[in-house]
Amino acid sequence: MALSVVSLYRDVLPRTNCRDCGFSTCMAFAAAVVADQHPLSGCPHLSRETVERLAPELAAQYADHRWTRRDMQQDALVYARERAAKTGLTDLPGRLGAEPMTLPDGSAAVRLPFWDKAVLITEKGMTAEDGSELPRLSATFLYNHLAQGGSRPPTGKWIGFESIKNTVSKQKSMQAHVVSPLVKRFSGRVGLLKERALKAGGVEAAGEGPTADLSFLFRPLPRVPLLLLFWDAAPEDGMEAEAKVLLDETITEHLDIESMLFLCENLVERLSAGD
Ligand code: SF4
């Protein structure tokens, strides 16, 4: 018997809405069990026998993704990994500016620096060089870079995210997740921003791009630099602080639009570390 939300609610649960499970109704609990794999044993009013009897059916429908909420992040990771699998290991150094190497067991690998760490790419996939677990979003980002990365090195000509084709729908995200947090956190605190930028691996770059109160160059990936510009507030002139992250004109060869946004958000996270 397949267990839908309705059948679990109607045929199995006590329907008293007592809230002892932490959910406001039995129906909400049923939805959590069916769609989000919340443990059925979370309802203390079900007998152990009932929970054990239904466990195989629930496990089977979870395995079939029947009624479960789609895990979008996992889908994105699988898609990115499949994209990357179509590319050869041997052309990665030339395309991404990564380093070819040989592992102790004699197998070939490629080392790709990523912020202050690095990942090792082999025929089997990608792992963090330091053995730590690679966060799922970072892995997705890197697999997409592996698949897309072109060979053209940065030219030093900076462009704004808004000038890149097809970014209109992402402008709000850039404002909300990159520009606004930077302005809010560092307005009137340029010294703190400088300190954080240095700690995050940035290099002062006053001669790069438009003139700003603070200019910092970051190189999260060998072929993908970011230029952070910050203008502090000038209350006496009625000016609010402004921030901008510029990308090299070759960026579309190396990253898709979602990945550009992810990288800029990554920068904000790094600058906010320690708050
Ligand atoms: S503890 Fe059980 S009976 Fe109570 S609300 Fe939750 S699911 Fe319903």
Q: In angstroms, rounded to a whole number, what is the distance separating the alpha carbons of residues 92 and 222? A: 12
CA of 21 to the centre of ligand 1 (A): 5
Count of CB atoms situated within 10 Å of the CB of 15: 12
Among candidate residues 148, 175, 194, the one where a domain is terminated: 148
CA of 25 to the centre of ligand 1 (A): 7
Separation between Cα atoms, residue 216 and residue 119, nearest integer Å: 24
Q: What percent of the chain has pLDDT over 90?
A: 71
pTM of this structure:
0.75
For residues 163 and 135, membership in a common domain is answered with no
What value does the mean pLDDT take over residues 19-39?
90
One domain for residues 34 and 78: no
Domain that holds residue 24: 5-63
Structure tokens that stand for 213 in this block:
């109160």
User: CATH number of the domain that 57 lies in?
Assistant: 1.10.15.40
The runs of H, that is alpha helices, within 38-120 are 48-63, 72-85, 92-96
Q: In ligand 1, which atom is closest to the CA atom of 16?
A: 3
Indicate whether 135 and 196 sit together in one domain.
Answer: no
Q: Whole-angstrom Cα distance, residue 122 to residue 137?
A: 19
In angstroms, the CA 223 to CA 148 distance is 12
Q: Are residues 177 and 265 in the same domain?
A: yes
Name the residue of 11, 15, 21 to mutate for ligand 1: max ligand atoms within 8 A of Cβ. 21
- Contact indicator for 12, 54 with CB cutoff of 8 Å: yes
What is the model's pLDDT at position 1? Answer: 67
Q: Are residues 141 and 193 in the same domain?
A: no
Lining ligand 1 with CB less than 6 A are 13-14, 16-21, 23, 26, 29, 43-45
In this structure, is residue 259 part of a structural domain?
A: yes
Which of 9, 10, 12, 13 maximizes ligand 1 atoms within 8 Å of its Cβ, making it the mutation to test the pocket?
A: 13
One domain, residues 30 and 85:
no
Distance 29 CA to ligand 1 centre (A): 7
Instruction: State whether 181 and 240 are in the same domain.
Output: yes
Q: Is 108 part of a structural domain of the chain?
A: yes
Domain annotation covers residue 162? yes
Domain count, the chain: 3
pLDDT tens for 114-139 read 999 999 999 888 999 998 888 989 99
Contact 204, 216 (CB under 8 A): yes
- pLDDT of 269 reads 95
pLDDT at 67: 82
In a domain, 131, yes or no: yes
What SS3 class is residue 133? coil
- State residue 246's pLDDT score: 97
Average pLDDT score over the chain:
92
Q: What is the pLDDT of residue 176?
A: 95
pLDDT in tens, 197-231: 999 999 999 888 789 999 999 999 999 999 999 99
% of the chain with per-residue pLDDT over 70: 99
pLDDT at site 206:
86
Centroid of chain to Cα 180: 19
CB-based contact 142:112 (threshold 8 Å): yes
pLDDT higher than 70, residue 275: no
Binning pLDDT at 50, 70 and 90, where does residue 191 land?
very high
Residue at 153 is within a domain: no
CB 137 within 8 A of CB 144: no
- Confidence bin at 24 (pLDDT 50/70/90): confident
Q: Are residues 169 and 216 in the same domain?
A: yes
Closest residue by Cα to atom 6, ligand 1, is: 21
Q: Are residues 185 and 251 in the same domain?
A: yes
Last residue of a domain, one of 117, 148, 179: 148
Confidence of residue 151 (pLDDT cuts 50, 70, 90): confident
Domain endpoint, select from 124, 148, 172: 148
164, 116: one domain: no
